[in-house]
A and B are shown apart, each in its own frame.
Chain A
């Protein structure tokens, strides 16, 4: 990695196992991607992503959505992402739909992965959908 290469600070958000996060962190540590994961957020207390974050010594937070509207919850997300100076948000199995305000705040700086060749099989359980087709 050259010294003047720019390192983009990443924030990852997850609900599930977070295995994709593991591979992103390995890519980061090996220098394959010019980025550093600064914070990991999860909406489930037992999200595997939190365990993985701790393995890799990345600050991580469980944010409970209990009693919060979508907008209120997303403001919590933004607060933590901003505190970590995140420039790129990476969703690794985050099962909540982000509010328009969140999307606007990080316009073109949020990546998601979907397990199908979009625009086929959008939405929940793409695997079941594609078997049904």
Chain B
């Protein structure tokens, strides 16, 4: 990495295991992405993302949503992200829908990963949706977050085959394996290639 390369400050928000966060942190430490994860936030006390953040010595906070409206909760998120001077918000399995105010505050600076080839299988449990529909290919999509769920401009996609006899678990394992490579790559593309917005599309030069 050259000395004058710009390092983007990242804040990650998670609800679950946070394995994608682990691969983003490994990409950061190895210099693969020109970024530094400054803070990790979680809405679940036992979120794996908090454990991973501690492993990597990244400040992390559990923010309880108890008794807070969506807007009040998101203000808490923003407060912590601003304290860490975060420029890019990365959702790694965050199960809450962000308020329009949050999306507006970080317009075009929030990335999410969805375990399907959008616009197929938006919303909850994309694995089961794919199995129930009987598709032969699914995959993973990294996209910019806008006001609609699993809808914003697409940064990067990777197709993953569905195999005969796949269960929810076996398909999930295969898609997640693709995610661990795809998310760091998408972040790298997004930060290094500075895509243009054309309508709802992202154009990489």
Residues in chain A within 8 A of chain B (CB atoms): 117-121, 131-133
Contacts and interface: CB of A to CB of B under 8 A. Distances in A.
B120 A119 contact: yes
Contacts of A121: 119
A98 to B, nearest CB: 21
21 contacts: A117-B120, A117-B135, A117-B137, A117-B159, A118-B135, A119-B120, A119-B121, A119-B133, A119-B135, A120-B117, A120-B118, A120-B119, A120-B120, A121-B119, A132-B199, A132-B200, A133-B118, A133-B119, A133-B154, A133-B200, A133-B201
Interface in B188-205: 199-201
A117 to B, nearest CB: 6
A118 B130 CA distance: 10
B51 to A, nearest CB: 36
A121 B117 CA distance: 12
Nearest to A118: B135
Interface in B139-164: 154, 159
Chain B contact surface mostly: loop
Interface of B: 117-121, 133, 135, 137, 154, 159, 199-201
A118 B117 CA distance: 10
A120 B137 CA distance: 12
A118 B134 CA distance: 10
Lowest 7 CB-CB distances: which A-B pairs, in order? A120-B120, A120-B119, A119-B120, A133-B119, A117-B137, A117-B117, A119-B133
B166 to A, nearest CB: 17
Contacts of B133: 119
Contacts of B135: 117-119
A133 B118 CA distance: 9
A131 B201 CA distance: 8
Contacts of B119: 120-121, 133
Contacts of A119: 120-121, 133, 135
A127 to B, nearest CB: 14
Contacts of B137: 117
Nearest to B120: A120
A114 B110 CA distance: 33
A133 B201 CA distance: 7
Contacts of B117: 117, 120
Nearest to B159: A117
Contacts of B118: 120, 133
